[in-house]
Structure 1
Amino acid sequence: MILNDYPWLSQPYQQLASGIINKRSHHALLINYVQGSGENKFISKLASRLLCQCSQQLEACLSCHSCQLFLAHHHPDYYVITNEQDKLSIGINQIRNISSKVYEKSQQGGNKVIWIKHAGLMTEAAANALLKTLEEPPQNTYFILSDEHNSQLLPTIHSRCFSYFLPVPKLEQSIRWLKKTHNQQCSDNELASALLLSENAPLRAAVLLAPEKWQERKAFCDHLLDAIPQNNYWQLAKTFNNEDFIERIVWFCALLSDALKAKQKVGRFIVNRDQVSLVRLLATKSNEKLCALYNLWLQARNQLLTVTGLNKELIIYNVLAQSELISETKS
C-alpha cells in the first residue's frame, strides 16, 4: 500500500506519480504543506520514483541500482538544497552550484532530481538565479520546491512551477491515526485539541502529545486558571524559559480566540476542547480586553520571529506587565 504509515498521503502520491508514469510530470513541482503532515517522506518517495529506472508502477522498484543508491543516501543525481547550518536563508552560491551541476550528464543515465527544501528561504538573488534554470530546464531534470503553505516565494518562481498543496487529513481520520500509532491514554477532546493546535497535522500533533510536552501545556493552562482571577500574569513566567515563549504565545492566543468564539456562541469551532473551564473564564472578559491581549501577545511573537538581537527576557516581562495593565480594570 502506498505510504502505508501515512494513509492520507496515498491519494496525493497517486496523483503525482501517475504523471511520472505517463510522462506528463512537470519539470518543476512546487509543493506547499502544513508542517507535520508527512511532507518529507512524501517528497522523498516522489523523488525515489523519479530516479527509479525499472518500475512501470506507481512506486519505485527499490531493487534497481538507482534505487539502491537512493536508499543508501548516495545517489549522485539527487540533490537536496536547504539553508546551511546557522544561516536563515538559501544563498545565491548554493543555487549557482546546483545550476552548474544539473547541466552535466546524469551519472546514472536516468533522471536528475533537485529538491529545494524551505524554498521560501531563498534570497531574491538566489531565486532569480534559479529562475533562469527553470526557464530553460535541462532534459530529464526535475525540480521539487517545497515549503510551508504560508511561505513567500517570488511570483515569477510560482509561474514556472506546477503548484500542489499537500492536504492534511480530516480531524476524525487524524484522531484514528493518533490512537493507532500512540500508546499514551488521551481523551478524544485532548487528541482533537492537539490536532487543532497543530493545524490538523498529525505528526506535529504527535510531538505536542508527547507526555513531557503535553504536561507543559497543562501546567501553563493551570497557571492561567490561577493567574486570571488574581490578575497575576507574572506567575506565568515560571512555566517557561525564554526559548519556550513563542510556543506559549501560540497556546494563549488560541485560548483567547476560543473565548471570543464562545462569546459569539460558536463553541463548535473551539480549538482547546480539553480546556473548556479556562475558555469560559477568559470569556468573562470583554471583547475589547480579549482583542487587546491577543494583539499584545501576537505582536511579541512577531518581534521575536523577525527582529534579531532582541532581549527576549525583556520582551516577556513587558508582555506579562502589559497583560496585567489591560486586565486590571473590570471587564
Structure 2
Amino acid sequence: MIFNTYPWLKLPFEQLADMIVNHRAHHALLINYIQGSGEEELINLLVNRLICQSSQQLQPCGQCHSCQLLLSQHHPDYYLITNEQGKQSISIDQIRSISTKVYEKSQQGGNKVIWIKHAALMTEAAANALLKTLEEPPENTYFILSDEHNSQLLPTIHSRCFSYFLAVPELEESINWLKKQHSHSYSDNELATALLLSENAPLNAAILLQPEKWQQRKLFCEKLLELLPENNFWQLAKTFNNEDFLERITWFCALLGDALKAKQKVGRYIVNRDQVPLVRFIATKSHDEITSLYQLWSQARKVLLSVAGLNKELMVYNVLAQSQLIGYQK
C-alpha cells in the first residue's frame, strides 16, 4: 500500500478522502506542493477514490470494474491534461476539448475526473476557458488542479477552487525514511543536507543521494575548496557540462547563503551541514563579495528557469567570468 512507502501521505489523503466519502468534496480541488513530496502518488490515489464505484471506505476498493479500468489506464471518464511534449504551455484547445467531454454523459455511470497537471502552464486564454466550466460545473464531475507552491496560477482560477497544500514531512521523519531507502551509509548530516537542498522533499532528496549524483556534488565542493582561494572560477567549467549548470548554481547559492549565515553567527541554520570547512572558508570573504556572487548566480538560475532556448554554454562562461571579476574587485 502507498502509505507503507510514503507514510506522510496518510493524513493528507484521509483529510481529502473524508470529504469524498461524506459528499463534501469540492468540484475543483487545487493541490499545491513542493516537488518531490509524493504529490503524484497522492493525486493518483485521490483520482482512484473518485473513480471507484464500490468502496464505502476512505480507500478505493481496487477491485471494481472502474478501478480495474483506471489501473489499466483505459478509464473513459478520467482525463489527464498537461503540456504536450515539446510545448511550454497548456493550450486553449486542450481545455476546450475537455470542456466538451465533461458535459457528456459518464460512460461508466460514475464520476468524471479531470486532473490538470502543472496547472499554471495554462495560457491565459486556456485558464479563462476553464473558468467558465468551473463556474457551472457538470454534475458528478471533479477537477483536480496541481502545481508547485510558488507557481503563478490566475487568481480567478484560484478563487474557484478548494486549495490544499501538501506539506513535506518533518526533517526527522524524512531522515528516518531516507535511512530505509538507502543501503549506502550516509551520516545524519549528509541526509539532512540532501533534504535541505531539496526543500525538505523526501523523493527529491532520495534522487540527490543516489551514489553517482552525491559523488558529483562532493567533487564540486572539493573543487570549490581548491579553486576559490585563487579566485580561479574558470576551472569550475571542467566540473560540469551545460546541462548540469542549473544544479551547480543551486548548490553554490546554498553554500553562499550558508556563508552569509556564518558571518551573522547563525551557523546552526546552515543547509550544507556536511561541508562546514567549505562554508567557513567562503565566510572569510567580505560580505559584499559573497552578496555579489549570490546575486549573480541566483539571477542566472532565475533566467535559466524562466527563459527557454538560451545558449547555456555562453551563460556558463559569462557567469564564471563575472565571478572572477567580483573576486578581483575585493
* TM-score of the two chains, using structure 2 as the length reference: 0.98
Note the 1:209-248 alignment, pairs <5 A: 209-248=209-248
Whether contact under 8 Å (2:190, 2:274) holds in the other structure is yes
Residue 198 (structure 2) aligns with: 198
Letter in 2 for 1:296: L
2:27 maps to 1:27: yes
Q: Deviations over 1:268-292 (max 9, x none)?
A: 1100000000000000011111110
Partner residue, 2:176: 176
Aligned to 2:82: 82
8 Å Cα contact 1:233-1:320 kept in structure 2: yes
> How far apart are 1:182 and its partner, in Å?
1.6
Local SS of the residue matching 1:113: strand
> Could you tell me whether the CA contact under 8 Å between 2:2 and 2:41 is conserved in 1?
no
Pairwise CA distance, 1:120:
0.5
- C-alpha RMSD over aligned residues: 0.9
In the aligned structure 2, how far is the partner of 1:45 from the partner of 1:314? 44
Letter in 1 for 2:194: A
Question: 1:2, 1:59 within 8 Å by CA — same for their partners in 2?
Answer: no
In structure 1, distance between residues paired with 2:48 and 2:3: 13
**What do the CA deviations read for 1:152-175 (whole angstroms, capped 9, x no partner)?**
100000000000000100110000
| Offset from partner CA, 1:8-39 (integer Å, 9 cap, x none) | 11001000000001000000000000000010
* Deviation readout 1:203-259 (Å, 9 max, x if unpaired): 000000111111111111011001110110111101111111011000000000000
The corresponding residue for 1:311 is 311
CA contact (8 A) 1:34 1:199 kept: yes
Helix, strand or coil at the partner of 2:106: coil
Give the equivalent residue in structure 1 for 2:297.
Answer: 297
The answer on whether the counterparts of 1:255 and 1:279 sit within 8 Å (CA) in structure 2 is: yes
User: Aligned pairs, how many?
Assistant: 330
Residues 33, 39 of structure 2: 8 Å contact kept: yes
Q: Provide, for residues 119-146 of structure 1, a one-character-per-residue CA deviation record: whole Å limited to 9, x for no partner.
A: 0000000000000000000000000000
List alignment gaps of at least 5 residues for structure 1: none
Corresponding residue for 2:141?
Answer: 141
What is aligned with 2:160? 160
Structure 1 residue 329, shift from structure 2 partner: 4.2
| C-alpha displacement of 1:180 | 0.9
C-alpha distance in structure 2 between counterparts of 1:303 and 1:175, whole Å: 32
Give runs of aligned pairs for residues 73-112 of structure 1, distance below 5 A. 73-112=73-112
Structure 1 position 309, deviation (Å): 3.5
Paired residue type of 2:144: I
Cα distance in 2, alignment partners of residues 100 and 34 from structure 1: 32
Q: Match of 2:284, SS?
A: coil
- Assess if the C-alpha contact under 8 Å between 2:54 and 2:61 holds in 1: yes
Q: Which amino acid counterpart does residue 74 of structure 1 have in structure 2? A: H
What aligned pairs does 1:57-68 form with structure 2 within 5 A after superposition?
A: 57-68=57-68
Secondary structure (helix, strand or coil) at the match of 1:3 reads: helix
3-state secondary structure, aligned to 1:147? strand
Provide runs of 4+ in structure 1 moved above 4 Å.
none
- Structure 2 unaligned segments of length 5 or more: list them: none
